[in-house]
Amino acid sequence: MSAGVARVGVVGGGQMGAGIAEVCARSGVDTVVCEVDAVAARAARDRVAASLDRAVRRGKLSREASEAALARLVFTSGLDDLADRQLVVEAVVENRDAKTEVFAALDKIVEDPAAVLATNTSSLPVMRLGMATARADRVIGLHFFNPVPVLPLVEVVPSLHTSAGTTALVEDFVVRTLGKKAVRSQDRAGFVVNALLVPYLLSAVRMAESGFATAEDIDTGMKLGCAHPMGPLELADLIGLDTVASIAESLYDEFRESLYAPPPLLQRMVEAGLLGRKTGKGFHTYDQG
């Protein structure tokens, strides 16, 4: 384990937050997950427990290791329970105001002035979140990928204010403690992966929107013609169409290039609550059972 980080907090226990908490706990780290209320905290625990059970069934994790990981996790609805954390990862909804509010609160709650506050944002400027605190040099982007227990990559995103020591500490934690691969990105919308990926997904949406090809044929074409493990519209459904739209809006706001603009069809689907796998329907239909 990295000598610098032994106690981690995660704010948000949804798909991403639960995954981040799970990999921390599986790596031997004392981890506290904070959700908005007790009901959401229980749901976050159930989410992690279900993921650990899947890993056991698939032979990726022993039952003993699964139980040990769950024992290292505490689920709470009070941000004050993160006061003693050395690293806190924010993983709430991809909304600038919501994230800024969390960082302003954490800055007052987390007691150690050397503690690092990280954001799992996929598109928002890290610097602006850091400036909501009095410790912008200790704020950094830590962008994990879904599903977190499976995908090995983490983007490490220092802002113009982030100190070299903070970056080194976080990279060491990602690589040595979590066993992930770290790539470093400048603090620009989309970072490395989404700046390349999202225009591709939006192109697929425009193709379906225009009637050029069906969603099924677009996905089949990219899987069988380009050896992609998943088609672009399947992938958009997995990410969540609301998240794809949010990232696209952030990219367009920053670069003002038309390839980043969210297509009307994507915006309408978000407005209709057709968000992909998490709602049972997006470009494809999914069994919610």
Its domain, for residue 71, covers 7-184
Whether 2 is catalytic is: no
Catalytic residue status for 228: no
Q: How far apart are CA 260 and CA 247, in angstroms?
A: 9
User: Within this chain, do residues 45 and 113 fall inside the same structural domain, yes or no?
Assistant: yes
DSSP 2: -
The token duo for 222 is 């990219």
pTM: 0.90
pLDDT of residue 118 exceeding 50, the answer is: yes
SS (H, E, C) 153-222: EEEEEECCCCCHHHHHHHHHHHHHHCCCEEEECCCCCCCCHHHHHHHHHHHHHHHHHHCCCCHHHHHHHH
pLDDT band at 289 (very low <50, low <70, confident <90, very high): low
CATH of the domain at 238: 1.10.1040.10
Domain count, the chain: 2
Residue 261 resides in a domain: yes
Does 114 share its domain with 48?
yes
Q: Which pLDDT does position 3 carry in this prediction? A: 59
Catalytic residue flag (residue 161): no
Among residues 155, 159, 161, 246, which one is catalytic? 155
- Of 184, 213, 231, the last residue of a domain is 184
Of 194, 234, 246, 250, the active-site residue reads 194
64 given a catalytic annotation: no
| 3-class DSSP state of 32 | strand
Both 115 and 48 in one domain: the answer is: yes
- Convert the pLDDT of each residue in 163-205 to its tens digit: 999 999 999 999 999 999 999 999 999 999 999 999 999 999 9
Which residue in the list 2, 122, 185, 250 is annotated as catalytic? Answer: 122
Instruction: Please report whether residue 234 resides in a domain.
Output: yes
Residues 24, 93 within the same domain: yes
The CATH code of the domain that includes 68 is: 3.40.50.720
Q: Is residue 284 part of a domain?
A: no
pLDDT value of position 53: 97
The answer to whether residue 217 is domain-embedded is: yes
One domain, residues 177 and 201: no
User: Residue 156, by phi and psi: left (phi above 0), alpha (psi -120 to 50) or beta?
Assistant: beta
Q: Which of 184, 205, 238 is the last residue of a domain?
A: 184
Task: Tell me the mean pLDDT in the region 6-29.
Answer: 97
